[in-house]
Chain A
């Protein structure tokens, strides 16, 4: 093996690859199973965007909180949520992370600091401000990360949260996952200032744009931003420019995309392929090592689906349980 030129150890590189491969295979499997009618509800896939969640979450621990979006599977996996529990949740089974009553858009696992995917656009931003305020008051050096897409960045909740985080100097990172489309609307049609970084600037916090398909670019920028927040430096915004391999939701005809666009993106901007090629070419990781991970992940996903299908649905008697929490 050659000298490692990367800012990550070999173990961390393999871990990152495993996370990204797990997200990819998880989503590809859902794409198939949803089309077959096996999965209830709505599904929004993260395939193509894996480097963003992975590069950011590598800097977090279970004490750090994240608030996710409707496209939250990748965030969950990268934050360490159990894949079997996720799959069962998406299949609506009682063994799911939320006992099968949340589904794809409401997976949560507080033990991992995952405060929940969220079906309401921009709703994660105020939640993470609360979590960050708690961390600040406790003084435990915890940070909060919230994710929004291009569309949710127009929501009042998001803009109010930028203000709140800046005024209270909260340890929050606002991550804008810019895949170019707010559902089907291109950003240039719907974002008045035309730049998410400009939004941060308007609230007096720094904003940074990186190539969200480059694990190393995300990892390096996120590392500096998260360290700054942890040290009391306050909130910042990170815009990750990335690509979406599937539609806004499963079943989306994607008539707003140019013919051949997705194929071109898969051929030229596949973050998983780019990572694999770089670490192998540098001689740090052997191709066989990646193939071994591929096989293990394939087995994991297969087993998660098998277990989910075999698990019982929630009983009707549980309809009103887990709905409200009394403090």
Chain B
């Protein structure tokens, strides 16, 4: 069966309050559609003939259709055939869950995701063994790499067409599983779980550092912004090493006299904040951590999602190799070394 690539494009990421409290990007729907057209062209260039796309009413689909119509009118044959997943549209994250599930069941070879960390989290919850190729269109994105989407499309095309060996084309990723009251409620995070004292979800975003208490990250990267940056500026932990980092934060840590380390970190675009850090330590895989915070909200990948009280029992467990992503850099380096984009490809290397 010819490989089919799924596409989940979220029209409503990068719309939250961080456009006001910080100077976060507001990526327009037309830009998202243009990104998608570039990805589609790249997939087609690699031989992908069919894509399965999540339906939405936010405008991406209609602008992509306009792009396809323009190409047809000019006689161009640049794009694969687009098939919409047959499902009702609710305009909520349930659409992402449902579309991902349908793509997995339909045998998609990979799923290209346009969105923020939250969209990627929703896809990761349902994709099973299907690898994700992430494209950042959100705010504090730490999970998807920042690169030109054409390259992500090319790498995905090469990977699903079998032009790159799987051990190079795909790589494993960590996640943190959240369990409340022995599994009565479960959720997950791809990058970070933050426990904050605000006991309401409200506008979701995190920016009031005085409310931060505990932070758990799958990777700690000083090159990103948001929660992972806080951990990354203390003790970097790579995406490809086992385990993560746990950081305890102090509301009183605003002055050196109280004993807390004062960290200045970019918690949102253009927003440097002082944060009191009490201590931090490694978070090994498969070990359940029980937070000390008694009540508040659980923020997953930078957004408040679940509020909890003193009656609730929380546990957090990091998992290595929890789901797969397309190794874009690996695919493209392999393509260059083996001249996959030249007219007469060189023989593939012996370890293929």
Cβ-closest chain B residue relative to A191: B59
Within 8 A of A (CB), among B258-313: 295, 307, 309
Stretch with Cβ within 8 A of B (4 or more), from A40-48, A57-65, A81-89, A209-217: A209-217
Query: Do A209 and B12 touch across chains, with their CB atoms under 8 A apart?
Result: yes
Closest Cβ of chain B to A190, distance in Å, is 12
Stretch with Cβ within 8 A of B (4 or more), from A95-103, A128-136, A218-226, A296-304: A218-226
Q: Does B202 contact A (CB under 8 A)?
A: yes
Contact (A207, B26) CB under 8 Å given A220-B17, A221-B203: yes
Q: Please report the C-alpha to C-alpha distance between residue A282 and residue B17 in the assembled complex, in whole angstroms.
A: 25
> Contact size class for B?
20 to 34
Query: Do A6 and B200 touch across chains, with their CB atoms under 8 A apart?
Result: yes
Contact (A220, B20) CB under 8 Å given A193-B59, A194-B58, A208-B15: no
Name the B residues within 8 Å of A220 (CB-CB): 17, 202-203
Q: Does B186 contact A (CB under 8 A)?
A: no
Query: Do B200 and A7 touch across chains, with their CB atoms under 8 A apart?
Result: yes
Q: Does A5 contact B (CB under 8 A)?
A: yes
Contact (A217, B203) CB under 8 Å given A195-B29, A206-B26: yes
Q: Please report the C-alpha to C-alpha distance between residue A7 and residue B297 in the assembled complex, in whole angstroms.
A: 13
Query: Do A7 and B29 touch across chains, with their CB atoms under 8 A apart?
Result: no
Query: Do A194 and B11 touch across chains, with their CB atoms under 8 A apart?
Result: yes
Query: Do B19 and A206 touch across chains, with their CB atoms under 8 A apart?
Result: yes
Q: Does B337 contact A (CB under 8 A)?
A: no
Q: Does B78 contact A (CB under 8 A)?
A: no
Contact (A216, B202) CB under 8 Å given A188-B62, A194-B62: yes
Contact (A188, B59) CB under 8 Å given A198-B26, A216-B201, A216-B202: yes
Render A267-303 as a binary contact track against B, CB cut-off 8 A, 1 for contact: 0000000000000001000000000000000000000
Q: Please report the C-alpha to C-alpha distance between residue A228 and residue B11 in the assembled complex, in whole angstroms.
A: 26
Closest Cβ of chain A to B213, distance in Å, is 14
Closest Cβ of chain B to A279, distance in Å, is 11
Q: Which of A200, A206, A217, A228 touches B202 (beta carbons < 8 Å)?
A: A217
Q: Please report the C-alpha to C-alpha distance between residue A10 and residue B63 in the assembled complex, in whole angstroms.
A: 47
Cβ-closest chain A residue relative to B15: A209
Render B186-229 as a binary contact track against A, CB cut-off 8 A, 1 for contact: 00000000000011111110000000000000000000000000
Within 8 A of B (CB), among A206-265: 206-210, 214, 216-217, 219-221, 224-225, 228, 236, 239, 241
Q: Does B16 contact A (CB under 8 A)?
A: yes
Name the A residues within 8 Å of B63 (CB-CB): 194
Name the A residues within 8 Å of B307 (CB-CB): 5
Closest Cβ of chain B to A211, distance in Å, is 9
Closest Cβ of chain B to A143, distance in Å, is 14
Query: Do A208 and B19 touch across chains, with their CB atoms under 8 A apart?
Result: yes
Contact (A221, B59) CB under 8 Å given A5-B307, A195-B28, A198-B30: no
Query: Do A7 and B202 touch across chains, with their CB atoms under 8 A apart?
Result: yes
Closest Cβ of chain B to A184, distance in Å, is 16
Query: Do B202 and A195 touch across chains, with their CB atoms under 8 A apart?
Result: no
Within 8 A of A (CB), among B6-54: 11-12, 15-17, 19-21, 26, 28-30
Q: Does B57 contact A (CB under 8 A)?
A: yes
Most interface-central of A201, A216, A241 (chain B CB within 10 A): A201
Name the B residues within 8 Å of A187 (CB-CB): 57
Q: Does A164 contact B (CB under 8 A)?
A: no
Q: Which of B11, B20, B21 touches A195 (beta carbons < 8 Å)?
A: B11
Closest Cβ of chain A to B133, distance in Å, is 24
Within 8 A of A (CB), among B305-326: 307, 309
Q: Does A159 contact B (CB under 8 A)?
A: no
Within 8 A of B (CB), among A1-50: 3, 5-7
Query: Do B62 and A217 touch across chains, with their CB atoms under 8 A apart?
Result: no
Query: Do A224 and B21 touch across chains, with their CB atoms under 8 A apart?
Result: yes
Q: Please report the C-alpha to C-alpha distance between residue A236 and residue B22 in the assembled complex, in whole angstroms.
A: 13
Closest Cβ of chain A to B299, distance in Å, is 14
Q: Does A313 contact B (CB under 8 A)?
A: no
Q: Does A197 contact B (CB under 8 A)?
A: yes
Provide a sorted-by-A list of 28 A–B residue pairs whose CB atoms are within 8 angstroms. A5-B309, A6-B200, A7-B200, A7-B202, A188-B57, A193-B30, A193-B59, A194-B11, A194-B63, A195-B59, A198-B26, A206-B20, A206-B26, A208-B15, A208-B16, A208-B20, A214-B202, A216-B202, A217-B203, A217-B204, A219-B202, A220-B17, A220-B202, A221-B20, A221-B203, A224-B17, A224-B203, A225-B20
Shortest 9 CB-CB distances between A and B: which pairs? Answer: A194-B59, A5-B199, A206-B19, A209-B15, A220-B202, A220-B203, A198-B28, A201-B26, A216-B202
Q: Knowing that A186-B57, A198-B26, A224-B17 are A-B contacts, what are 16 other residue pairs whose CB atoms are under 8 Å apart, sorted by A's residue number? A: A5-B200, A191-B59, A193-B29, A194-B11, A195-B11, A195-B58, A201-B28, A202-B28, A206-B20, A208-B15, A210-B16, A214-B202, A220-B17, A224-B20, A224-B21, A225-B20
